[in-house]
Structure 1
Amino acid sequence: MSTTPAVILDVAFQRAEASIGQPIVTSPSIAEKVDYVSRYVGNRAVVRLLLACSLAAIHRPEVDIRKPYTEIATPDAYSGRYYDENFVTAFINRHELPCNPTTAFLTPALRNRNVTLTPSVNLVGRPPKLYEAALQLLDEVQEGRITAEDLLTETIRCLLIARNEKRQRMTTLLADLKKSEDAIPLSAEEIVTLLKQHLDCRGSSRLPVLIVAAAYQAAQQYIGERFLPLEAHNAADQQTGALGDMEITLVDDQQVITSYEMKTRRVTVEDIDRALQKINITGKRVDNYIFITTDVIDERVREYAATMYDRTGGIEIVVLDCLSFLRHFLHLFHRLRSQFLEAYQQLVLAEPESAISQPLKEAFLALRQAAESAREF
């Protein structure tokens, strides 16, 4: 087929937009599976499998859509990862479609495979029903019960609906917040309560980083320090060259003076020893290496950290509780509490969904709106 994958995607997008109010797939059972896979919030990788495989089957009609692995080593096999990385990524980014930001073929369930993806294959992915539905859809195409063109277009149509619904929810939540702008600002303790509620939500491991980042952003001109651009949530320190999850420099300098490492569990002695190893490997001589935890702090660990100042020749290592850090900051910089809250909200909303899910973003806006509305009475 002479048409390029990029053109195929654009044609499918235009067709999906034109039919957004009506399913393209006539079979109710098939349409239901496409909708389920496309709109499942807890796993946004599987929908990319459908996009990549259906795109390949349109571009190369001779392939078996169920064989997206060249390792299968048959003439009708192909590289699903090639289509996913080279065409699907740019497509979903351009149209802001709610999908995983990276290829589906590097997820645990789909990487290192060399088998035909028939419905009987157990991909050991979660939830199993989601993967079963996707494999059934690929089989429906191979058996001729639906065309690859219709599968691609219907998947995009469902993603467009999900994207538009998300946009509308965010618009409504932000509009509701705007209505309470003239109310008395939340107190420091009310902000602490608000963020504790947010931390208690599912999938909140990125939030402590943003709490500390928002504190520095709000107080930057007063303390003369700033945080360096945050690395991706899943980026390893070895890859980025960073000491921890966030690095602090003086406003007019690139020299890292403080490094933060966030934990959603108890900090251990081994964590401190690993921090020392990173300091030695990178050669960065920071003034402070600070652990922020949302769990309890073991007194033995706190005491062990305190011994590091003499052992390292002047590097202070300390373990702090996340909410205690927040509370102290908000009372120390009481007049900046509203700026802090705005900075935190902006950071939360700017994070990719791989780090902070859409439900977690919406949860913060809803919690804030509830807290601020209560002040009006």
Structure 2
Amino acid sequence: MINDNIRLILEDAYQRAESGHNTDFELSELQQKWVETIVEKAESQKAVLAVLITSLTKKIETPTQDVRYHKTELPNGYSGRTFDTSHVTPFIAEKFQRFAMKSGSGWLTRSLEQAHPYTLTYPGRILDKAVRKSFLQILNDIEENQVDPKKYLHTIFAALINLIKKATIQLGLWEKSDEGSAQVPQSDTITIDNIVNLLKYHFSYNYRVAGASRLPVLAVFSAYEMLTAIERYKGKTLSPLKSHTTSDTKSGGIGDIEVLDENGGFFEAVEIKHDIQISADIVEKAYEKFAETSVCRYYLLTTAEPNTDNPMMVDQIIQKIHRQHGCEVIVNGIIPSLKYYLRLLTNPELFLACYSRNLKLDFEQNTDIKEIHLRYWNELLESQL
């Protein structure tokens, strides 16, 4: 339960940020740059964001507290972790779900839990040097220069709100029709090879944030959504995608993508690896997942080239599985597989709309897809259409 006074502090900052009424809380160019550095890396630096918001909120609530002393064992310290767990992370989860710590507190990371004050010489290894500097400079600013912490809190919230708004804008090159299906403008220049090249670029770009391994999963899922009309999949059901962090063991699943038969049993499944070769061990572990099911075809697809580390060993295990179970295990690259799927479609261009829609939906519903993944895909589409 969030304390009423603390809730009021957080809610007031959020409402002001949302309304755009921040003229009383303007920062200098340098101070603004510190905030921008934190917010730009918010998805990969959630712990820093949580600790910073906690520190600012605590300073507003208790102006006499030096919030750099974030542990009770430090001189005149307070428990930042307790304050965060009880008040701040629940608020972040409510208002900015994408940026909330799933563990419940930013202090549950080694780089921030150390019993040293957050002074400019703090020894904790916050790996992103720019984020580390900005984080410590903001706390130094409110403690040593007596800058109003409300200025920073409101500005951070405003920046997070703008970041979310930017990311949820419809991808510029497709829109929803009255029937709710995504439409991509027709173009004589778009071929299957064009589409495959776009996907190659999208999968392999150096994003410098986690989540790229989700992209090929969404691409293959999009292809399967469009294949449901062909003869092989008539009467079959494509299972909804699970979160990338959900293990098959916990969910009872057997792969990233699953097609069910008319009786609800597994008919076909796909396991997807990003930049990982398919090894004999990976094939064996896949078999452990589906051995007790009636699945008749199982794909192991990867973006890595070559696809396998030991083709002969992998093939031996595949043959053994077929003899024991009857399932046909197929190891292949993502790109050749997608090219094959696209050839089965009457209008391959529609795949672009389907993939675009799934990127946006996954961004809104999970935390794997980041704003940069959407932005780069939009840039790739603009280069082709």
Deviations 1:112-158 (A, max 9, x none): 54443333223323312202321232233334622332221121122
TM-score, length of structure 2 as denominator length: 0.80
The answer for the alignment partner of 2:219 in structure 1 is 211
Deviations 1:162-212 (A, max 9, x none): 3444456x564557xx99724347322222222222222235311221122
The answer for the alignment partner of 1:38 in structure 2 is 39
| In the alignment, structure 1 residue 363 sits paired with structure 2 residue 376 | yes
Distance 1:367 1:66 in 2: 44
The answer for the alignment partner of 1:255 in structure 2 is 265
Q: Helix, strand or coil: the match of 1:297?
A: coil
Any gaps of 5 or more consecutive residues in structure 2?
176-181
> What fraction of aligned residue pairs are identical, expressed as a percent?
19
Distance 1:285 1:311 in 2: 14
Residue of 312, 321, 324 corresponding to 1:300: 312
Judge which range, 184-193 or 321-330, deviates more. 184-193
RMSD: 3.3
AA of the residue aligned to 1:294: T
Q: Helix, strand or coil: the match of 1:334?
A: coil
Q: Helix, strand or coil: the match of 1:320?
A: strand
The answer for the alignment partner of 2:96 in structure 1 is 92
The answer for the alignment partner of 2:255 in structure 1 is 244
Distance 2:76 2:142 in 1: 19
CA shift in 2, pair 1:190/1:35, >3 Å:
closer
TM-score, length of structure 1 as denominator length: 0.82
The answer for the alignment partner of 1:325 in structure 2 is 337
Q: Helix, strand or coil: the match of 1:275?
A: helix
The answer for the alignment partner of 1:141 in structure 2 is 142
Any gaps of 5 or more consecutive residues in structure 1?
373-377
The answer for the alignment partner of 2:280 in structure 1 is 269
CA shift in 2, pair 1:167/1:262, >3 Å:
closer
**Shift of the alpha carbon at 1:364?**
1.4
Residue of 353, 356, 361 corresponding to 1:350: 361
Distance 2:59 2:263 in 1: 53
Q: Is the 8 A contact 1:64 1:77 kept in 2?
A: no
CA shift in 2, pair 1:244/1:65, >3 Å:
farther
CA shift in 2, pair 1:19/1:368, >3 Å:
closer
CA shift in 2, pair 1:106/1:343, >3 Å:
farther
**Shift of the alpha carbon at 1:370?**
2.0
AA of the residue aligned to 2:303: T
Distance 2:250 2:71 in 1: 28
Deviations 1:263-312 (A, max 9, x none): 122111111122233345xx434223321111112322441343233453
Deviations 1:311-350 (A, max 9, x none): 532122221111111111111x230423332221111121
| In the alignment, structure 1 residue 181 sits paired with structure 2 residue 185 | yes
Q: Helix, strand or coil: the match of 1:370?
A: helix
Q: Is the 8 A contact 1:202 1:360 kept in 2?
A: no
Distance 1:141 1:235 in 2: 40
Q: Is the 8 A contact 1:294 1:323 kept in 2?
A: yes
AA of the residue aligned to 1:140: D
Q: Is the 8 A contact 1:70 1:114 kept in 2?
A: no
The answer for the alignment partner of 2:295 in structure 1 is 286
CA shift in 2, pair 1:5/1:27, >3 Å:
same
Q: Is the 8 A contact 2:67 2:77 kept in 1?
A: no
